């Protein structure tokens, strides 16, 4: 019980003091619950009893159960944060997680759409319908701003400033950033706000009381990130795109296309809301890989014509 009570206190710290998103809190809670169950299996009743060897045994168990390295690395980060929190507060004298190494990860390049594929996707919604107008605005915003899907569904009416051509987003840790809106996105959002007030399946076609979210469903309640993923799946099929597309694919496409057109890396970092430049630098690898691919194909064609 002591371990779970400590974990609850740590999660409250992440929520109240660190302003972690609901999604991050759920991930931490799941990882730490699993670690608590491991401690139970080893008759460890308090986190002060955990030693370096216990943590190594836990990592080995995760590997034996078939977890991928990326998942193990995330779970380790959760446990590492917990012990760092306890050590800083003087609740444990030594941090047993300090010397643990993160599993080496293969660096996968982000998946993105080319500009022709993006145009096909953005043209897919039927703007003669209420849902089509909404979905067009969703797709335009995801691509034009690089918003995370969690940021998109949290957007409220007060965050949108069409006259100024900007919106306010709250990223990880509730960090605020202001994003510019291009004319196509402004036009789509304007069209959506013109029909938003009459959701077709709501009682009396009225929005549920207290719902200030920009994007709502047909019943007049706030839209979920799962709903956004589903509607993207439908439009990918409609646009006959052969690749897997998620909301994050549009974020990757936004960053990659900016760099391809000469944007500064630090500007892209700011727009994406990345805390560290190294996170943004992966997109330079994408751009370089694409450039080399184009060069190699062009070079091969030149050899054939010679």
Residue 79 contacts residue 86 (beta carbons within 8 Å): no
Q: Which residues are catalytic?
A: 148, 172, 248, 251, 274, 283
For the chain, give the percent of residues with pLDDT over 70: 90
Q: How far apart are CA 250 and CA 138, in angstroms?
A: 11
Output the CA angle 10-14-17, nearest 5 degrees.
110
Q: What is the pLDDT of residues 175-206, one digit of tens each?
A: 899 999 999 999 999 999 999 999 999 888 78
Cα 298 versus chain centre, distance: 35
Q: What is the pLDDT of residues 29-82, one digit of tens each?
A: 999 999 999 999 999 999 999 999 999 999 999 989 988 888 898 999 999 999
Q: What domains, with CATH codes, occur in the chain?
A: 2-88 (1.10.150.130), 115-243 (1.10.443.10)
Q: What is the pTM of this model?
A: 0.68
Q: What is the pLDDT of residues 124-144, one digit of tens each?
A: 999 999 999 999 999 999 999
């Amino acid at each position: 019980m002591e371990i779970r009570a400590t974990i609850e206190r740590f999660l409250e710290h992440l929520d109240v003091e660190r302003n972690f998103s609901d999604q991050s809190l759920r991930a931490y809670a799941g990882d730490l619950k699993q670690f608590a169950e491991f401690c139970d299996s080893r008759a460890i009743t308090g986190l002060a009893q955990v030693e370096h060897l216990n943590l190594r045994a836990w990592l080995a168990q995760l590997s034996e159960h078939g977890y991928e390295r990326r998942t193990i690395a995330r779970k380790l980060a959760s446990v590492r944060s917990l012990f760092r929190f306890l050590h800083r507060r003087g609740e444990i004298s030594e941090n047993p997680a300090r010397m643990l190494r993160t599993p080496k990860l293969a660096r996968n390049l982000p998946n993105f759409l080319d500009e022709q594929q993006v145009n096909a996707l953005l043209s897919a919604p039927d703007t003669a319908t209420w849902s089509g107008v909404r979905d067009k605005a969703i797709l335009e915003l995801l691509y034009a701003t690089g918003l995370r899907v969690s940021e998109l569904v949290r957007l409220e009416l007060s965050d949108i400033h069409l006259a100024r051509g900007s919106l306010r987003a709250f990223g990880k840790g509730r960090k605020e950033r202001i994003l510019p809106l291009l004319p196509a996105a402004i036009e789509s959002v304007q069209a959506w706000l013109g029909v938003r007030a009459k959701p077709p399946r709501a009682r009396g076609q009225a929005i549920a009381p207290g719902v200030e979210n920009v994007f709502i469903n047909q019943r007049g309640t706030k839209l979920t990130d799962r709903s956004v993923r589903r509607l993207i799946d439908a439009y990918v099929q409609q646009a006959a795109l052969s690749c897997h597309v998620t909301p994050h694919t549009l974020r990757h496409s936004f960053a990659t296309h900016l760099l391809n057109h000469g944007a500064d890396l630090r500007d892209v970092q700011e727009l994406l809301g990345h805390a560290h430049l190294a996170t943004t630098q992966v997109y330079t690898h994408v751009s370089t890989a694409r450039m080399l691919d184009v060069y190699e194909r062009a070079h091969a064609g030149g050899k054939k014509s010679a």
